[in-house]
Amino acid sequence: MDAMEAITKLTDSELITALKELVGHSNQLTAELLRHLAEVEQRRLHLEAACSSMHVYCTEVLGFDDATAYNRIYVARLARRFPIVFDVLAQGRVHLTGLRLLAPHITEDNVAELLEAAAGKTKRQIEKLIAERAPKPDVPDRVRKRPQPARPAACSGTCSPQPTLGGEVGTVGSRSERTDSDARPAMATAAPDSTSAAAHVAVIEPVPPSNAPSSNVTPSAVAESVEPRSADRYKIEFTGSAEVVDRLARVQALMAHREPGCGFEVVVGQALELLEAKLLKERFGVGAKPRQARPRRRTNSANNTTRHVPRAVRREVYERDGLRCAFIDPESARRCGEVAVELQHHRPYALGGEHSTANVSLFCKTHNAHAARKDFGEAHIEAAVERQRGRRAARKARQSAAPQQPAVARSTAETRPTAAAQLGLFGS
């Protein structure tokens, strides 16, 4: 019997128990590995192996990738200064990435307290912890134009994307080929105390292409990011279209009469407030007027007239669950808590479940699908997914086959604000 076959014969509880034991062994092994790395560097044995640095030794001799080598070397050096780090890592109280983030902020005076505060936290939670203790100033409002990507003529279709610097929305190129002016662009907004109508209208900074070979990286390849700057301030970064930039500039100008010098935060914050209220009203009936009862139609075994969950039930479920997944692990009583908008019937509607606050909860998409698989079986759900994919493909094919809108009409339509834009930006 091979190892994989043996694992498949374990019960669910045995599998989870074995997994947790392996995680414990892995933490202990990682701590022991760092002890050895620290001692190798202390004895300078990497120099005897013809390596100019520990990073070269870890990547070329031990076979680590760059990120793994960096993390382990950095934390090994920290643990050599503060041996308690070895114990914290071996016990699994703080993970390796978390220790690397904490390292610049650990001193003789705060080592025990800071490690205790970070125990059991995720990477994002540790980043927030650091931001609370070492706040950074707000970043200035800025819009930078990304270069137009182009595939080189000699590329055979397997060219690797060039990395961007620190998630910056700017040029595409390697770190060594970026100039200081590229990495730190000038502010694109007026001074905060300016009161003119266009004081904070965004200015696009054209960024010349890097000298590095062009790649097939598209603007959407740069992921959105949220970085904590202090206890309650965040840097938010994303890539948008020219239409978004133009609309942002127009709205800033239109708002200048009542909020002179308003920045991106004010504009986006008010737009999101309006959009959130609209979506909550549509999805959960928040703020909507009560509807009169309609005549009953076909019912299921629970006497429900339709699959549609009544607005009053949706509103009560939203108020109770707070837009967070209500799935609870029966053994540990841990609640999922992810952002959730899926209405989950504990007893499915198809099996006679009723539309009531006792039978309906908010689940995240993952737990909603998990519950469906438990209720109806894997084969049934896979068949339903395939049917949905077929309908989407057919709809996409119909849209592709539809005649194109005339150029003049399309140009006129593009310049006319949509209802969603009017609601999101100018609604009251």
Q: Got the DSSP string for 271-312?
A: HHHHHHHHHHHHHH-TTPPPPPPPPP----TT--S-SSPPHH
Residue 34 sits in the same domain as residue 112:
yes
The mean of the pLDDT values for the chain is: 77
Q: How confident is the model at residue 313 (pLDDT cuts 50, 70, 90)?
A: very high
Residue 36 sits in the same domain as residue 122:
yes
Q: Which long-range contacts (CB under 8 A, 24 or more apart) does 24-33 make?
A: 24/92, 27/89, 27/90, 27/91, 27/92, 28/90, 30/89, 30/90, 30/96, 31/79, 31/86, 31/87, 31/89, 31/90, 32/90, 33/72
- pLDDT (0 to 100) of residue 297: 54
Work out the average pLDDT over 326-351.
Answer: 87
Residue 173 sits in the same domain as residue 126:
no
Of 244, 262, 280, which one is at a domain's C-terminal end?
262
Of 220, 241, 262, which one is at a domain's C-terminal end?
262
Q: Is residue 361 part of a domain?
A: no
The C-alpha atoms of residue 174 and residue 161 are separated, in whole angstroms, by 10
267 near 248, Cβ under 8 Å?
yes
**Number of domains within the chain:** 2
Q: Is residue 176 part of a domain?
A: yes
Q: How confident is the model at residue 359 (pLDDT cuts 50, 70, 90)?
A: very high
Residue written as tokens 């019997």? Answer: 1
Tens digits of per-residue pLDDT, 184-217?
A: 333 333 333 433 333 333 443 433 333 333 333 3
Quick check: 148 pLDDT over 70?
no
Handedness of CA 215, 217, 223, 229 (dihedral sign): positive
- pLDDT (0 to 100) of residue 229: 85
- pLDDT (0 to 100) of residue 200: 38
Q: Is residue 67 part of a domain?
A: yes
Tens digits of per-residue pLDDT, 3-37?
A: 888 898 899 999 999 999 999 999 999 999 999 99
Q: Is residue 57 part of a domain?
A: yes
As a residue count, the chain comes to: 428
Cβ-based neighbour number of residue 172 at 10 Å: 24
Higher pLDDT, 117 or 332: 117
Residue 206 sits in the same domain as residue 92:
no
- pLDDT (0 to 100) of residue 259: 82
The C-alpha atoms of residue 102 and residue 128 are separated, in whole angstroms, by 11
Residue 108 sits in the same domain as residue 173:
no
Residue 123 sits in the same domain as residue 26:
yes
Q: Is residue 225 part of a domain?
A: yes
Of 237, 262, 287, which one is at a domain's C-terminal end?
262
Q: How confident is the model at residue 222 (pLDDT cuts 50, 70, 90)?
A: very low
- pLDDT (0 to 100) of residue 150: 60
Residue 197 sits in the same domain as residue 100:
no
Q: Is residue 371 part of a domain?
A: no
Tens digits of per-residue pLDDT, 224-257?
A: 688 888 888 888 888 888 898 888 888 888 888 8
Percentage of residues of the chain with pLDDT beyond 70: 72
Nearest to 367 by CA among 337, 393, 387: 337
Residue 116 sits in the same domain as residue 176:
no
Tens digits of per-residue pLDDT, 397-417?
A: 988 887 766 554 444 444 444
Tens digits of per-residue pLDDT, 254-301?
A: 888 888 878 888 889 999 999 999 999 988 888 887 766 565 554 555
Residue 87 sits in the same domain as residue 174:
no
Residue 54 sits in the same domain as residue 103:
yes
Residue 225 belongs to domain spanning: 143-150+164-262
Nearest to 33 by CA among 97, 82, 101, 86: 86
Q: Is residue 226 part of a domain?
A: yes
Half-sphere exposure of 338 (CA within 13 A, CB side): 11
Q: Is residue 159 part of a domain?
A: no
* Cα dist from 393 to 28, 263, 388, 399, whole Å: 50, 42, 9, 10
The C-alpha atoms of residue 299 and residue 306 are separated, in whole angstroms, by 6
Higher pLDDT, 130 or 163: 130
Nearest to 367 by CA among 417, 313, 326, 408: 326
* Cα dist from 152 to 157, 217, 238, 248, whole Å: 10, 12, 26, 34
Residue 129 sits in the same domain as residue 171:
no
Tokens of 90: 């071996």
Min mean pLDDT across 306-310, 336-340, 416-420, 424-428 is at 424-428
The C-alpha atoms of residue 274 and residue 339 are separated, in whole angstroms, by 19
Work out the average pLDDT over 332-360.
Answer: 88
Q: How confident is the model at residue 304 (pLDDT cuts 50, 70, 90)?
A: low
* Cα dist from 379 to 12, 328, 372, 375, whole Å: 21, 25, 11, 11
Work out the average pLDDT over 123-152.
Answer: 81
* Cα dist from 157 to 152, 162, 164, 201, whole Å: 10, 14, 20, 40
Helices 12-43, 66-81: crossing angle, 10 deg rounding? 70
The C-alpha atoms of residue 38 and residue 57 are separated, in whole angstroms, by 13
Residue 198 sits in the same domain as residue 114:
no
- pLDDT (0 to 100) of residue 82: 95
pTM, two decimal places: 0.56
Instruction: Please report which helix (H) or strand (E) contains residue 237, including its range.
Output: strand 234-237
153 Cβ contact list (under 8 Å, min separation 6): none
